[in-house]
A and B are shown apart, each in its own frame.
Chain A
Amino acid sequence: MEPAVQVENLVKRFGSFTAVDGVTFAVERGEVFGILGPNGAGKTTTLEIIESLQKPTEGRVSVLGLDVQSDAAKVKTRIGVQLQASAYYDYLNLKEILALFGSFYPSKVSPESLLDQVGLADKAASRMSELSGGQRQRFAVAASLVNNPELVILDEPTAGLDPQARRNLWGLIREVNGRGVTVVMTTHYMEEAETLCNRLAIMDHGQILALDTPRSLINQLKASYAVKLTLDKPMTVAQLESLNGGVELVHSEEQSEETADEDAKAENTYLLRLANSPTALRSMLDEIDKAGLGLENLQITPVTLEDVFLEMTGSELRD
């Protein structure tokens, strides 16, 4: 059976700007595939080409064995899409919106059943303006399921939700995937990607930097611990470089050539990664002492997907 999504050498240019730069990946049927990356990484453009919303400059994309350019109409009948920040009609209630969208497809699921699936059965007569943020996102997922799709594409489905609403939606996505529906999603949230996705592509500047299961991506890191330290004064670049014995600088607030800039001086907070060695932490603290710096705060945590991301992109997620 052909993969749910096959993307080959995909390039998308807007004038001189290259939004997607030679991306290749495949999404297997039945998996939850995540695309993680900062804003402007090319995630949404990639998804919009898969959804037939945009034409690729180069490359080929097929969905469920169909070419998204030549078979766009057929592809659309078999996939469900939840766009980033998409609204729905103001003057229809939830049931009516689902009935309207269902009428666009040859086969459809009843609005009552969809609302029941996403826990909004009691809101059938409500309008979008009467829903909370979490309820709206759940409704957007329900709207993506009106045609009983084989593949659902969710663009940042939990963006802006509180932790509880986010976890509710995770449950819903798992439930949908549990019925055999392939899910392709983008997210800003590392924990979400780590929890939900079977496989994950880390994307930045239009390219895929890594693609694997979340656990394999984490295991690829040399470091085992992430260290966040706050000092009483900023370090010079030379001092930072001296913290080597198994320590790798991941991030500090915008460093200038010789010293940290004004913001960094105010913060003096540095994020480093530490190899799994009994001497690594002691060595680092000794170097700080030697440099005459005072340690104000120290946090040590096991490395997560975020550390993988930081290593790959060299930056935190750009919101």
Chain B
Amino acid sequence: MKMMARNRQAIFWALFFPLMLVVVFGLFDFNGVGAADVSVIDQSGGPRAELFRERLSEIEFLDLEFEDLDIAAARDKVADGDLGYLIIIPELFDDPAGQAQAEGPAPVMLVYSTRNPDRNQLVDGAVRNLVSHIQSGGAPVIPSQLLTADVIQVSEVDYFDNVLLGLLGLGIMTNSIISIAVRISTFRNQSILKRLLVTPLPIWKFFAAEIVAHVILALVQAGIILSLGVFAFGGHVNGNIVWVLAITALGSIVFLNIGFILSAWAKSPAAASGMGNAVALPMMFLGGTFFSTAALPWILPELSFALPLTPMLAALRDVAIDSEPIWETWPYLAAMGGWVVATALAATKVFKFG
């Protein structure tokens, strides 16, 4: 740790790159009111409902879908954030007699989550006005009776929260892979590894010391990135921070092992740095650092889960954003555990001291 702490230049670059990205992404306004994706379930099917749907589709900031969805499934989609808004047109919407019998208008149901309060206000207002206009027929009505809002309470989350955890994974990955590859390559070039070999120091202690020092650095790095993201740019970490750090440590070990493997092949520290970047950069884009891997074309979304960064980020997001307990992320942890074992075996096989 002492040696690492004194290598200020290395620490500076290890922290600078991800922090710079936090700052850049923090400055973007990801939460501007964009198009709202809306699903409509029409239980009425009458002409008035059709008019309502027609008018809805004329509202510019609403991106309408008329899927044949089950109400419960659609509501789950809203809760999970896969759908912005759900509008349910009731069966009695076009049935004045029925409404009279029910002693009041059949209210349209608008379902949304608490993820985006600004946009919620806008959508709620627009839909409420439209229902009011269509249902009143010119007569005064109480708008609150025409539209019922079903607000699903979810943890506060936005795109920046996702990106913040992506940046955390990115920082840990690049620092772990490149730092250890360059460090070991330098030690080998300077015959420091050879010098250690002529001492009775067991080799496993050397590796353990390197891994422990780098994992501690990774945890400090995680603390700084998350603090900056939360306190300076309004990000959120809803889950248990200890679990977030545990996943960070596990991910760091995977990437350190990859660094050890690369250092065995690198002829010089500069080559080790280049190789580290060559491995880290594709993973940065394919691992879901900034954007969901679901947006990737072809079979890349499935393939991306074969990369070690993807399960790490998925576990981090499930725990930090969705407040899931760490054991709920066991498939991701198992994938990372597999990577730890596989990379450790490979590192042991290919590592060279001289």
Is there a chain B Cβ closer than 8 Å to A85's Cβ?
yes
Q: CB distance B190 to A101 under 8 Å?
A: no
B residues near A92, Cβ cutoff 8 Å: 2-3
Q: CB distance B190 to A53 under 8 Å?
A: no
Chain A nearest CB, measured from B79 CB (Å): 52
Cα distance A88–B196 in the bound complex, in angstroms: 10
Q: CB distance A104 to B191 under 8 Å?
A: no
Is there a chain A Cβ closer than 8 Å to B7's Cβ?
yes
Name A63-122 residues within 8 Å CB distance of B. Answer: 73, 76-77, 79, 81, 83-92, 96, 101, 104-106
Is there a chain B Cβ closer than 8 Å to A158's Cβ?
no
Check A104/B201 contact, CB under 8 A, given A89-B3, A91-B6, A96-B2.
yes
Is there a chain A Cβ closer than 8 Å to B48's Cβ?
no
Is there a chain A Cβ closer than 8 Å to B197's Cβ?
yes
Cα distance A96–B201 in the bound complex, in angstroms: 17
Is there a chain A Cβ closer than 8 Å to B194's Cβ?
yes
Is there a chain B Cβ closer than 8 Å to A137's Cβ?
no
Is there a chain A Cβ closer than 8 Å to B192's Cβ?
yes
A residues near B197, Cβ cutoff 8 Å: 53
**B5 closest partner in A (C-beta):** A91
The digit string for A169-195, where 1 denotes a CB below 8 A from any CB of B, is 000000000000000000000000000
Cα distance A92–B3 in the bound complex, in angstroms: 6
Is there a chain A Cβ closer than 8 Å to B101's Cβ?
no
Check A83/B7 contact, CB under 8 A, given A76-B200, A77-B200, A105-B200.
no
A residues near B190, Cβ cutoff 8 Å: 86-87
Q: CB distance B191 to A85 under 8 Å?
A: yes
Cα distance A106–B200 in the bound complex, in angstroms: 9
Q: CB distance B192 to A81 under 8 Å?
A: no
Q: CB distance B198 to A91 under 8 Å?
A: no
Q: CB distance B201 to A91 under 8 Å?
A: no
Cα distance A87–B188 in the bound complex, in angstroms: 10
Q: CB distance A87 to B199 under 8 Å?
A: no
Name A86's contact: one of B3, B6, B191 (CB within 8 Å): B191
Is there a chain B Cβ closer than 8 Å to A148's Cβ?
no
**A78 closest partner in B (C-beta):** B200
The digit string for A137-148, where 1 denotes a CB below 8 A from any CB of B, is 000000000000
The digit string for A48-59, where 1 denotes a CB below 8 A from any CB of B, is 000111000000
Is there a chain A Cβ closer than 8 Å to B46's Cβ?
no
The digit string for B1-13, where 1 denotes a CB below 8 A from any CB of A, is 0111011000000
**B189 closest partner in A (C-beta):** A87
Q: CB distance A83 to B199 under 8 Å?
A: no
Is there a chain A Cβ closer than 8 Å to B45's Cβ?
no
A residues near B2, Cβ cutoff 8 Å: 91-92, 96
Is there a chain A Cβ closer than 8 Å to B354's Cβ?
yes
B residues near A106, Cβ cutoff 8 Å: 200
Q: CB distance A86 to B200 under 8 Å?
A: no
B residues near A86, Cβ cutoff 8 Å: 190-192, 194-195
Name A13-70 residues within 8 Å CB distance of B. Answer: 51-53
**B196 closest partner in A (C-beta):** A104
Name A76's contact: one of B4, B194, B198 (CB within 8 Å): B198
Q: CB distance A104 to B192 under 8 Å?
A: no
Q: CB distance A89 to B199 under 8 Å?
A: no
Check A53/B194 contact, CB under 8 A, given A92-B2, A92-B3.
yes
Name B181-230 residues within 8 Å CB distance of A. Answer: 190-192, 194-201
Q: CB distance A51 to B198 under 8 Å?
A: yes
Cα distance A86–B201 in the bound complex, in angstroms: 17
Chain B nearest CB, measured from A185 CB (Å): 15
**A80 closest partner in B (C-beta):** B198
Cα distance A67–B287 in the bound complex, in angstroms: 51
Name B1-60 residues within 8 Å CB distance of A. Answer: 2-4, 6-7
Cα distance A317–B198 in the bound complex, in angstroms: 28
**A75 closest partner in B (C-beta):** B200
Q: CB distance B199 to A104 under 8 Å?
A: yes
Q: CB distance B3 to A91 under 8 Å?
A: yes
Check A91/B191 contact, CB under 8 A, given A77-B200, A101-B199, A105-B200.
no
Cα distance A104–B197 in the bound complex, in angstroms: 11
Cα distance A83–B201 in the bound complex, in angstroms: 16
Q: CB distance A83 to B198 under 8 Å?
A: yes
Cα distance A77–B201 in the bound complex, in angstroms: 9
Cα distance A49–B198 in the bound complex, in angstroms: 11
The digit string for B328-354, where 1 denotes a CB below 8 A from any CB of A, is 000000000000000000000000001
Q: CB distance A104 to B200 under 8 Å?
A: yes
**A85 closest partner in B (C-beta):** B191
**B195 closest partner in A (C-beta):** A86
B residues near A104, Cβ cutoff 8 Å: 196, 199-201
Name B199's contact: one of A84, A96, A105 (CB within 8 Å): A105
B residues near A91, Cβ cutoff 8 Å: 2-4, 6-7
Chain A nearest CB, measured from B226 CB (Å): 27
B residues near A73, Cβ cutoff 8 Å: 200
Name B191's contact: one of A83, A90, A96 (CB within 8 Å): A83
- Pull 13 A–B residue pairs with CB atoms less than 8 Å apart, ordered by A: A51-B198, A76-B200, A77-B200, A81-B198, A83-B194, A86-B190, A86-B191, A86-B195, A88-B192, A91-B4, A91-B7, A92-B3, A106-B200
Using a CB–CB distance below 8 Å, which chain A residues touch chain B?
A: 51-53, 73, 76-77, 79, 81, 83-92, 96, 101, 104-106
Using a CB–CB distance below 8 Å, which chain B residues touch chain A?
A: 2-4, 6-7, 190-192, 194-201, 354
The 9 closest A-B pairs by CB, nearest first: A87-B190, A91-B6, A104-B201, A81-B198, A86-B191, A91-B3, A104-B199, A76-B200, A86-B195
